[in-house]
């Protein structure tokens, strides 16, 4: 890599965003931090801006604009507010790669704006492809933009495909830890608490994605994301539960051979690879030792007890706006569970009922996705 690469981090105060800042800080000769954004966490955004001195910051919550502006007035940092500003700043000529680490549907418009401005995308916001995968991939192709996956599983598939792009994929296997409730029965799941669901055994993530992991919805969203990233059919995507989270995912080719990407659970590695592809930079991350893991185990997921995973496959089969409905309903349901307004099992119930209640639009436009997202949130809210 010659010149420094200009980076924009959308969602810098979340789990992926904070780790991305650590990556950038470790390689000051490689990266130039241009933009950081946050939704509501103004205090952390201010601390990050003072420490890492980006060119611009955006706080989506316009009520906190003056707080951020006053705190940064003498730091030569441009301050903006509002969701529209996030979509506008990514068009900066100083930005080469946009890391989309915003949570949920909110990442859709900024990702589209970045693609149309011909910025490469480091994609950590899986919901963007879940909601509007057909539009995103079409826009990326037409604008000559690369989408580098940051999810550990999709990064693993991508890494396995380097040097193999001319070879046809027979199947991919997305590995899942199984979350904190692996092996639980339906009766046991009736009693789980918010605190238990937030206690993931292997990964440190934000609260929304942690709940999604516990309900297997995260893996379902990853199945849908994989379809768009790697141009696959539903029957080519399998999920296998691997509690140790060492094998991050596998690719099986037409000749029957398989490739896997392995390593200790650490999101900084896929973040860094998305920033530096096709190069790999030397790290001081802990190294995997086979003798520390004498057994790596694998088992089938329970799609009946953890129905969200099956719902994702159903949405893939239905096509159209079905995945958009599923994502919107799930965002509403997870937020209600985090507020302790519904039970853990209610999440899948609300998701399924929402999918059954809303007409599926085939060949949707962007406007269709926007209106269906709004309708799905209204319906899910009424089912709480």
Lowest mean pLDDT among 136-150, 194-208, 321-335, 359-373: 194-208
Whether 240 shows a pLDDT value over 70: the answer reads yes
Q: CB–CB of 16/9 below 8 Å?
A: no
State the pLDDT confidence band at 107, using cuts at 50, 70 and 90: confident
Distance of alpha carbon 325 from alpha carbon 356, whole angstroms: 10
Q: CB–CB of 189/183 below 8 Å?
A: no
Domain chopping of the chain, boundaries: 5-149, 154-265+286-305, 319-384
* pLDDT tens, position by position, 280-319: 999 999 999 999 999 999 999 999 999 999 999 999 999 9
Percent of the chain with pLDDT strictly greater than 70? 99
Nearest-CA neighbor of 217 among 313, 336, 147?
Answer: 313
State the pLDDT confidence band at 194, using cuts at 50, 70 and 90: very high
pTM assigned to the model: 0.92
Burial class (CB in 10 A: 0-12, 13-18, 19+), 227: buried
* pLDDT tens, position by position, 11-36: 999 999 999 999 999 999 999 999 99
Name every residue whose Cβ is closer than 8 Å to that of residue 381 and which is 6 or more positions away in sequence: 332
Between 232 and 206, the more confident residue is 232
Whether 2 shows a pLDDT value over 60: the answer reads no
Name every residue whose Cβ is closer than 8 Å to that of residue 230 and which is 6 or more positions away in sequence: 157, 161, 169, 172
What is the CATH number that goes with domain 5-149?
Answer: 3.40.50.720
Fold agreement (5-149, 319-384): no
Class of the domain covering 319-384: mainly alpha
pLDDT at residue 104, as a whole number: 76
């Amino acid at each position: 890599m010659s010149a420094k690469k200009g980076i924009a981090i959308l969602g810098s105060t979340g789990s992926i965003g904070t780790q991305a800042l650590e990556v950038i800080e470790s390689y000051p000769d490689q990266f130039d931090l241009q933009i950081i954004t946050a939704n509501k966490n103004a205090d952390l955004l201010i601390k990050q801006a003072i420490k890492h001195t980006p060119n611009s910051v955006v706080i989506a919550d316009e009520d906190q604009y003056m707080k951020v502006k006053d705190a940064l007035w003498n730091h030569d940092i441009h301050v903006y507010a509002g969701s529209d500003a996030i979509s506008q700043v990514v068009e900066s000529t100083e930005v080469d790669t946009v890391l989309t680490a915003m949570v949920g549907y909110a990442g859709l418009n900024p990702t589209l704006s970045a693609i149309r401005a011909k910025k490469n995308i480091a994609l950590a916001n899986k919901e963007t492809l879940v909601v509007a995968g057909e539009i995103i991939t079409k826009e990326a192709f037409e604008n000559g933009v690369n989408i580098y996956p940051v999810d550990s599983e999709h990064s693993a598939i991508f890494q396995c495909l380097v040097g193999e792009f001319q070879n046809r994929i027979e199947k991919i296997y997305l590995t899942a830890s199984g979350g904190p409730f692996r092996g639980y029965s339906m009766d046991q799941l009736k009693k789980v608490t918010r605190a238990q669901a937030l206690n993931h055994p292997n990964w440190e993530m934000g609260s929304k994605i942690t709940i999604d992991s516990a309900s297997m919805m995260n893996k379902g969203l990853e199945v849908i994301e994989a379809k768009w990233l790697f141009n696959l059919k539903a029957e080519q995507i399998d999920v296998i539960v691997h509690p140790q989270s060492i094998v991050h995912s596998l690719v099986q080719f037409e000749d029957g051979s398989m490739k896997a990407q392995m390593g200790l659970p650490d999101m900084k590695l896929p973040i860094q690879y998305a920033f530096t592809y096709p190069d790999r930079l030397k790290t001081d991350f802990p190294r995997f030792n086979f003798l520390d893991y004498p057994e790596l185990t694998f088992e089938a997921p329970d799609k009946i007890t953890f129905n969200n995973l099956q719902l994702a496959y159903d949405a893939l089969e239905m096509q159209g706006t079905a995945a958009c409905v599923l994502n919107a309903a799930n965002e509403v349901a997870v937020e209600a569970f985090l507020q302790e307004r519904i039970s853990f099992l209610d999440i899948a119930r609300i998701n399924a009922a929402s999918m059954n209640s809303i007409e599926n639009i085939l060949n949707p436009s962007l406007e269709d996705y926007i209106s269906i997202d709004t309708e799905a949130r209204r319906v899910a809210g009424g089912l709480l």
